[in-house]
Amino acid sequence: MDPVRLRDLARQLGAELVGDGDLLVTGVAGLEHAGPGDITFLAARERIEQLAGCPAAAVIVGPGLEADRPALRVADPYAAFSLLLSRLEMDPDRVFPPGIHPTAVVDPTADVARAVAIGPYCVIGAGAVVGEGTRLGAHVVLGPEVTVGRDGFLHAGVCIREKCRVGDRVILHSHCVVGSDGFGYRPGPAGLVKIPQVGIVVLEDDVELGAGTCVDRATVGQTVIGRGTKLDNLVQVGHNVVIGAHCAISAQTGISGSCKLGSGVTMGGQVGLADHLTIGDGVKVGAKSGLHRDTPAGSEVFGYPALDAREAFRVASALRKLPDLLRTVARLERLVGETHESREEAPE
Amino acid sequence: MDPVRLRDLARQLGAELVGDGDLLVTGVAGLEHAGPGDITFLAARERIEQLAGCPAAAVIVGPGLEADRPALRVADPYAAFSLLLSRLEMDPDRVFPPGIHPTAVVDPTADVARAVAIGPYCVIGAGAVVGEGTRLGAHVVLGPEVTVGRDGFLHAGVCIREKCRVGDRVILHSHCVVGSDGFGYRPGPAGLVKIPQVGIVVLEDDVELGAGTCVDRATVGQTVIGRGTKLDNLVQVGHNVVIGAHCAISAQTGISGSCKLGSGVTMGGQVGLADHLTIGDGVKVGAKSGLHRDTPAGSEVFGYPALDAREAFRVASALRKLPDLLRTVARLERLVGETHESREEAPE
Amino acid sequence: MDPVRLRDLARQLGAELVGDGDLLVTGVAGLEHAGPGDITFLAARERIEQLAGCPAAAVIVGPGLEADRPALRVADPYAAFSLLLSRLEMDPDRVFPPGIHPTAVVDPTADVARAVAIGPYCVIGAGAVVGEGTRLGAHVVLGPEVTVGRDGFLHAGVCIREKCRVGDRVILHSHCVVGSDGFGYRPGPAGLVKIPQVGIVVLEDDVELGAGTCVDRATVGQTVIGRGTKLDNLVQVGHNVVIGAHCAISAQTGISGSCKLGSGVTMGGQVGLADHLTIGDGVKVGAKSGLHRDTPAGSEVFGYPALDAREAFRVASALRKLPDLLRTVARLERLVGETHESREEAPE
């Protein structure tokens, strides 16, 4: 990042300048990683103690927060910090050079004319459509009749299989696979027989899928990822799953077929859902949990098998006392045995 | 799907027509997703109650089952339903256009002449062989001396490393990796030293690997996936593992090196096996289980660490009672303490 | 492997020949898989009993170990065995044919001249650098300003995003993704808002990443994998993680953002770490563990939630006794209840 004076940052962010406007800022970092010369931010009042130990040269603060060093006061510090970060991103034209690369194999019936960038060695199938403003990196493969909306970013190596539909402003990270066959077999005389997976995947607007994430096509019908939902890396979504809007699902989580998630569901990493579950709006699932039952809206669950979070913590805490409990009960058995014997021996 | 009259479907499936043959069927769906206009199926008598609430226009039923709407009676409803689905699949010639794409880099010593399709940007190494009827999607990479049998489907982005052997009718989904190095190191004076992984992978006939699945080559010898075995997405198979025939292994499961699985083993998602285990024929492993011991044929296991399923459920059920048990025992301690004291104080 | 006489192997390995030097060796295998004709090895004295049942024709042994068949005596049998295996590896020039393939798209400002091999369909971005002796397989994608050091192997399909830095002798297996966006969002009025991920990834010298493994770029600053550290397949490393030197992390493990691991940490498969943890030097983490707390150097932990290994085993062992414990305590309650009642009824 080029060094910039604090007063200039204030102007760029529309912030109120507090303190020395000539201060030179040379970097941007979150509170825990910030060094001298950096500007950082405080998102909420309760973190002002952490600021004391932080060597950052300047800080972005919210209304009503006193800073102990040169600062920029804004309505939303987190958003202002994000805006600064976006200035440090590599120019998209450098990551995804504009134009349709001459090596891209584009079916004559595909429509990619409005895309900003189709990278080297992309393969775009018959009848596929890529919307205005969208950028494809190298080696992206769109199968026949795939549609991708506007202003999207498909990173190198993404594969989207035939007939799947991707909305606007969708971001797909490297090597994710959309529309692979669901894991469907029926028993046959000579072993498992594959059930054709003839449905599709629909990714609604503003969805983001992490690197290596896999979303399977439906057996029939649609596997749906709802508007604004974000999946981390190496997540697995089985056939006929329907995920609502604005969910956040962390890395390596797996959602078995035909699950139905409401909106605003959040899951930690390495969570597993059995098939055919209904998970209500706003459910929060702790990392590594295993869900095998429907979960009502608003629940917080944790564990394997997953329980309501408060019960799960009680159980986990009790579990550590179990070895001692065994010894205590053994001792009680002896004592009660003696009492019982002595009562039998010595009549009242 | 083009609308089709029920009598025409009956003829196509070799089914007995029951009811109105002029009924127009406009879609196909499983029982839970079927809407008006769809044809669905009933696989077993016990589900006839579910049919009552289903809006499907028609249903495929088995012998001896009374339907409450126009129906097609067949010997095997599941198979007939599957056959209908296969009619809805995109023509393979559209997904994998026939011919060797001019951009495919095929070593002069490779033999791919009998393949139906070699897609854009495939890279086929020296001495590799692709059998009759097999189709490769875009960007498939076969290393030197890789052999792939007949009638296979290798989806976009599949990588098979040198010398690995793939049988007939094998289906590999996008981005799976066959023959990557096993995770083998030995301690050295300056850190871990890589042990060369010089073995291969053998995928027998009718194997299917899901998207992103990784099967490591053996240190020496072979990592084997047996005939008819199906692996879901993002599964990891370590070096020198031998998996028998007709197994079904769900997503994100990991099998450490040198494990030996019999035939007909089924595993849920996110299962983990420690290394060097022997798992007998027909073992069923519940999702998220962690196996650390040999498991005899026919067992059903569950949990982490995995136990026989019935014991595992007893333990999981007992676990929820543990917080109360701690309180109960504390109370018993007090009561027994009083009894004990009073007996000491008040001689008989 | 071409058959070779034992005396010739002795000469190649600088070993002391014991027994019949004319013996023809036709293969190499570890103790458990060795067959007649093979040469195997014994790494430590305590395994001499296993050798008795092994049909191998010859064995590599260490100093002071008596063999029961023709043998090669060396200072370090494991290293000698490894050296033999390396003779069985396919010539790197056959796996990664030397030269810059004419189909590689190399930006004019990239510097790859010293690389040994740039495979078909590689895409090398503006300002990228590939060091001397390094080999890239087919379809490798290096983003703008990526630097890769010397003597590395990047297998087919590897993706490294803009500005990331890869050291010397780094091995990246197929389809791993380096520098994908970290999973970072902030709440906004219309849903989650993406936080730009503007940092990079640094892979130090001698790092190896398995197939499908993903290492996310930092929000700001660096995600670091330390010198000599080895990650297995399908591992996830979140943004701003710092991993020390000489760690070994097994398949499908996930390390959440901002964790800090010391050196020499080893983790089994499917381990999960919550975010912002500090894990000290030499910590050993058992497979499938879930860590949610800082872990001091030298600890051995296991379980979910992870506990010190000895405690974890006590708890796991006690857990199996829990169903019986419930019955025992119920019985005690009845007995104590009777005692208590009889004491109340029958005054002393």
Question: Does the ipTM surpass 0.90?
Answer: yes
β-pair partners for A300: A284
Three-state DSSP at C189 gives coil
Lookup: tokens for B336: 């027994």
List the catalytic residue out of B155, B173, B175, B239.
B239
User: How confident is the model at residue A109, as a pLDDT?
Assistant: 97
* Segment holding C84, helix H or strand E: helix C77-88
Alpha helices by DSSP H, listed for chain B, are 6-13, 48-52, 77-88, 92-95, 309-320, 322-345
The answer for A 34-53 residues in CB contact with C (under 8 A) is none
Tokens 């002798």 correspond to C169
Least confident of A276-290, B239-253, B327-341: B327-341
Average pLDDT of the residues of chain B: 94
**Residues in contact with B7: Cβ distance below 8 Å, sequence separation at least 6, in sequence order:** B17, B21, B22
State the chains in contact with C (3 or more Cβ–Cβ pairs under 8 Å). A, B
The answer for B 290-329 residues in CB contact with C (under 8 A) is 290, 304-305, 307, 311, 314-315, 317-319, 321-322, 325, 328-329
Q: Residue C252 and residue A216: Cα distance in Å, rounded?
A: 20
Q: Residue A134 and residue A154: Cα distance in Å, rounded?
A: 8
Rounded to 5 degrees, φ, ψ at C186 are -125, 155
User: How confident is the model at residue A348, as a pLDDT?
Assistant: 47
The beta-carbon neighbor of A143 closest among B95, B139, B329 is B95
What would the pLDDT profile of B63-115 be if each residue is shown by its tens digit? 888 888 999 999 999 899 999 999 899 999 999 999 999 999 999 999 998 99
A270 in contact with B at a CB cutoff of 8 Å? Answer: yes
Cβ C202 vs Cβ C222: under 8 Å: yes
**Using the beta-carbon criterion (under 8 Å), do C33 and B346 form an inter-chain contact?**
no
User: How confident is the model at residue B342, as a pLDDT?
Assistant: 67
- Mean local confidence (pLDDT), B181-189: 94
The confidence band for C347, taking pLDDT boundaries of 50, 70 and 90, is: low
* Nearest CA-CA partner of A287 in A274, A310, A308, A304: A304
Report whether pLDDT(C259) > 90.
Answer: yes
**Using the beta-carbon criterion (under 8 Å), do C198 and A156 form an inter-chain contact?**
no
A239 in active site: yes
Cβ B96 vs Cβ B153: under 8 Å: yes
Would you say the C-alpha torsion A85, A91, A94, A99 has a positive or negative sign?
positive
Listed as own residue / partner, the contacts of A66-72 with beta carbons closer than 8 Å and 24 or more positions apart are A67/A18, A67/A19, A67/A42, A69/A19, A70/A6, A70/A18, A70/A19, A70/A20, A70/A21, A70/A23, A71/A18, A71/A19, A72/A6, A72/A9, A72/A10, A72/A13, A72/A15, A72/A16, A72/A17, A72/A18, A72/A39
Average pLDDT of the residues of chain C: 94
User: How confident is the model at residue A101, as a pLDDT?
Assistant: 98
The beta-carbon neighbor of B177 closest among C101, C175, C340 is C175
The beta-carbon neighbor of A174 closest among C177, C221, C305 is C177
* Nearest CA-CA partner of C216 in C244, C192, C243: C243
Q: Which residue, among C89, C121, C174, C340, would best test binding to B if mutated, counting the most B CBs under 10 Å from its CB?
A: C174
* Distance between C93 CA and the closest CA of chain A, angstroms: 25
What would the pLDDT profile of B125-159 be if each residue is shown by its tens digit? 999 999 999 999 999 999 999 999 999 999 999 99
Residues A193, B130, C94: CA angle, nearest 5 degrees: 130
Residues B273, B278, B283: CA angle, nearest 5 degrees: 80
* Nearest CA-CA partner of B312 in B283, B282, B290: B290
* Nearest CA-CA partner of A138 in B263, B27, C161, B62: C161
Report whether pLDDT(C306) > 70.
Answer: yes
List the catalytic residue out of A239, A246, A276, A340.
A239
| Closest chain B residue to A218, measured at CA | B29
User: How confident is the model at residue B343, as a pLDDT?
Assistant: 63
First vs last Cα of chain A: how many Å apart?
91
A2 in contact with C at a CB cutoff of 8 Å? Answer: no
DSSP letter at B57?
Answer: S
Report whether pLDDT(C348) > 80.
Answer: no
* Distance between A274 CA and the closest CA of chain C, angstroms: 18
Longest Cα–Cα distance of chain A, Å, equals 104
* Segment holding A249, helix H or strand E: strand A248-249
Residue type, A65: L
**Residues in contact with B293: Cβ distance below 8 Å, sequence separation at least 6, in sequence order:** B277, B305, B306
Lookup: tokens for C39: 């040469």
Q: Residue C44 and residue A69: Cα distance in Å, rounded?
A: 63
The beta-carbon neighbor of A194 closest among B208, B250, B329 is B208
Cβ A137 vs Cβ A115: under 8 Å: no
Three-state DSSP at B13 gives helix
Burial of C192 (0-12, 13-18, 19+ CB in 10 A): buried
Q: In what order do the strands lie in the sheet with A71-73?
A: A16-18, A71-73, A58-61, A38-41, A27-28
The most confident of the ranges A37-46, A70-79, B26-35, C287-296 is C287-296
Report whether pLDDT(B348) > 50.
Answer: no
Lookup: tokens for A117: 């960038």
Report whether pLDDT(B164) > 50.
Answer: yes
Would you say the C-alpha torsion C246, C199, A136, C187 has a positive or negative sign?
positive
The beta-carbon neighbor of A156 closest among C159, C163, C335 is C159
Burial of A270 (0-12, 13-18, 19+ CB in 10 A): buried
Cis bond before residue B305 (omega within 30° of 0): yes
| Closest chain C residue to A28, measured at CA | C220
Least confident of A31-45, B212-226, C189-203, C275-289: A31-45
Cβ B270 vs Cβ B264: under 8 Å: no
The confidence band for B11, taking pLDDT boundaries of 50, 70 and 90, is: very high
Would you say the C-alpha torsion B216, B222, B224, B227 has a positive or negative sign?
positive
In whole angstroms, how far apart are CA C110 and each of B104, C146, C277?
25, 9, 38
* Segment holding A332, helix H or strand E: helix A322-345
Percent of chain C with pLDDT over 90: 84
Cβ A258 vs Cβ A278: under 8 Å: no
C162 in contact with A at a CB cutoff of 8 Å? Answer: yes
* Distance between C44 CA and the closest CA of chain B, angstroms: 13
The beta-carbon neighbor of C157 closest among B159, B194, B236 is B159
Q: Residue B41 and residue A30: Cα distance in Å, rounded?
A: 57
Q: Which residues of B9-27 are buried (b: 16+ CB within 10 A; e: fewer)?
A: bbeebebebbeeeebebeb
In whole angstroms, how far apart are CA B240 and each of B144, B174, B220, C59?
21, 23, 8, 21
Cβ C224 vs Cβ C242: under 8 Å: yes
Q: Are strands A191-194 and A185-188 parallel, antiparallel or unpaired?
A: antiparallel
List the catalytic residue out of C239, C246, C276, C292.
C239
Query: What angle, 0 to 180 degrees and rounded to 10, lies between the N-to-C axes of helices A309-319 and B309-320?
Result: 100
**Using the beta-carbon criterion (under 8 Å), do C252 and B252 form an inter-chain contact?**
yes
* Distance between B250 CA and the closest CA of chain A, angstroms: 8
Contacts of B190 in chain C (CB under 8 A): 228
Report whether pLDDT(C72) > 80.
Answer: yes
State the chains in contact with B (3 or more Cβ–Cβ pairs under 8 Å). A, C
Lookup: tokens for B54: 């289903």
Average pLDDT for runs of 10 along chain A of length 348: 92 94 93 90 74 91 88 93 92 96 98 95 98 98 98 98 98 98 94 96 98 97 97 98 98 98 98 98 98 97 93 92 94 82 60
Burial of A21 (0-12, 13-18, 19+ CB in 10 A): middle
Would you say the C-alpha torsion A254, A258, A259, A264 has a positive or negative sign?
positive
Residues B18, B23, B28: CA angle, nearest 5 degrees: 90
Lookup: tokens for B149: 């049998």
Report whether pLDDT(B188) > 60.
Answer: yes
Q: Residue B201 and residue B224: Cα distance in Å, rounded?
A: 6
**Using the beta-carbon criterion (under 8 Å), do C319 and B315 form an inter-chain contact?**
yes
In DSSP notation, B270-300 reads T-EE-TT-EE-TT-EE-TT-EE-S-B-TT-E
Cβ A328 vs Cβ B333: under 8 Å: yes
Lookup: tokens for C184: 């970072």
